[in-house]
Chain A
């Protein structure tokens, strides 16, 4: 069934978009990530203008994150104070991100930034994930227990000034790395249409030593807050949020996520991480191929404000 998207200004197959949302939702439930990093590229490669794809996925991430956050909220597995600091930083980051987004759109370099951003961040994170999970699998195969990281152990981050106490996480750390992480994730979210959970969760665990039990709930709150503000800013300045597209993706996404989570519960953690690493790398390679291979059409059209034509 064809449906005309009011902001993207083109007709799409509703079931195709719904299917994409569902498939990405399934994977996001399976791996416990937001799925923005898969959804944005899928939309771009299926012909939705990159600017609309990024901004509409931003709204979709709010829906999928809030659905997941509800469970953690009921179980009180959220450090609200840490989440609040992260959201404030995330909002600053996404404001910077949206401003860069608008500027590059006018210069005709937004697509390049999105592609390069995906190649570098996903390539880096995917390689790290894959290497880490292969190491873990090798350890298990040899029958040796994994070297445990103790949450209490300190690193260089804990020597920084402006310390703040977070009771729920049993932490007393400097706000500098928290603000840094929040701003970074906020910028990435606005520029690339990703929630950033797959970067935020490891950063909170390894850099700040946030207990693993509350890290997911807390990072979900950060994503909701940051991506909600990013959605409003994208809509206000770039007018690129397609509500119809986002709604179809949301509904598909939240349904798919339920099934994904059920399957995910039956697969071992390190195997899941290896699969996720492969998936992340595959998306990065797909963008890299597009950048390196000579394009079939070297010309492109846009309006002065940067709308693709």
Chain B
């Protein structure tokens, strides 16, 4: 009887202990929202500043740790397959020779951080969560390359184009548990569905993260033209020719000299 009584008692104790441990692990939580859920590319598009607002939530048991939080907000563009080519001298001129194909490269990558990434967490953790362009997991087709020059070249070119970027000190904390991240989106941002993830760090440990999606799309005339050119290329070409003939004809009439 006593034995039978003890067993049922041990089970709830274990559950409570587990629940306590679980809640301790998720003592901090993170919620955030974006100033816009859509980026519209119109003919006057020159880039846009997106703001991510968020709050760090603690449950009742967790003691306030005061300052010391770090937040990284990462915006990733839809994946694309890229070919990196390397020029070499051939018969006196520089031409593209060797190449590597990289599937699943984020077309856009922006990390907005409260401090330099190296100060926020360890290289291993940053690599695990793919924070920072050099920590992205994409690899050349046919396995990792012993020669990292092509991967480095890709990251460098993307960075030069403003499509891979780490913006340090762009996350601020207006209150102890409120953060605000400024995401500066360049004009050449690729279209598609983006994932924005906010990561909460403290003492190098990743405490919580949350993801949102945002769509970047061409709108109005830009969208119409792009869709027409890609879906009905021949018709679009024909329209361009008609436009050209009309412009030429009109100029011939306006500037008629004889």
Which A residues are within 8 Å of any B CB, using their own CB? 2-4, 6-7, 9-11, 59-60, 62-71, 74-75, 108-109, 111-112, 116, 224, 228, 231-237, 239, 241, 243-244, 246-247, 250-251, 254-255, 257-258, 291-295, 297-304, 309
Contacts and interface: CB of A to CB of B under 8 A. Distances in A.
Nearest to B161: A309
A232 B247 contact: no
Contacts of A65: 248
Contact of B230 (A70, A233, A239, A244): A239
A232 B96 contact: no
B25 interface: no
B47 to A, nearest CB: 8
Given A303-B80, A303-B83, A247 B247 contact: yes
19 contacts: A2-B187, A4-B222, A63-B248, A67-B251, A70-B248, A228-B241, A235-B229, A235-B236, A236-B234, A243-B225, A254-B251, A258-B251, A291-B93, A298-B88, A298-B153, A299-B156, A301-B154, A303-B82, A309-B161
Interface string B94-130: 1110010100000000000000000000000000000
B62 interface: no
B235 to A, nearest CB: 8
Contact residues of A: prevailing secondary structure: helix
A75 B257 CA distance: 12
Closest 10 CB pairs of A and B: A235-B237, A66-B248, A299-B153, A70-B252, A254-B251, A232-B237, A62-B244, A67-B248, A236-B234, A63-B244
B78 to A, nearest CB: 12
A71 B92 contact: no
Contact of A7 (B89, B154, B229, B239): B229
Contact of A234 (B86, B99, B190, B237): B237
By CB atoms of chain B within 10 A, which of A74, A111, A293, A300 has the most? A300
B258 A4 contact: no
Contact of B81 (A250, A299, A303): A303
Given A74-B258, A232-B241, A302-B82, A3 B43 contact: yes
Contacts of B36: none
Interface residues of B, number: 62
Contacts of A112: 95-96
A118 to B, nearest CB: 13
B244 A108 contact: no
B238 A232 contact: yes
Contacts of B253: 70
A45 B83 CA distance: 22
A71 B252 CA distance: 7
A243 B88 contact: no
A302 B245 contact: no
B148 interface: no
Contacts of A75: 258
B247 A63 contact: yes
Contacts of A293: 94
Contact of A60 (B160, B237, B244): B244
B187 A59 contact: no
A97 B94 CA distance: 23
B185 to A, nearest CB: 13
Nearest to B154: A301
Nearest to A1: B44
Contact of B234 (A4, A71, A232, A304): A232
B244 A3 contact: no
B197 interface: no
A304 B255 CA distance: 46
Contact of A70 (B43, B94, B218, B249): B249
Contact of A243 (B84, B94, B96, B240): B240
B248 A236 contact: no
B233 interface: yes
Interface in B195-235: 218, 221-222, 225-226, 229-230, 233-234
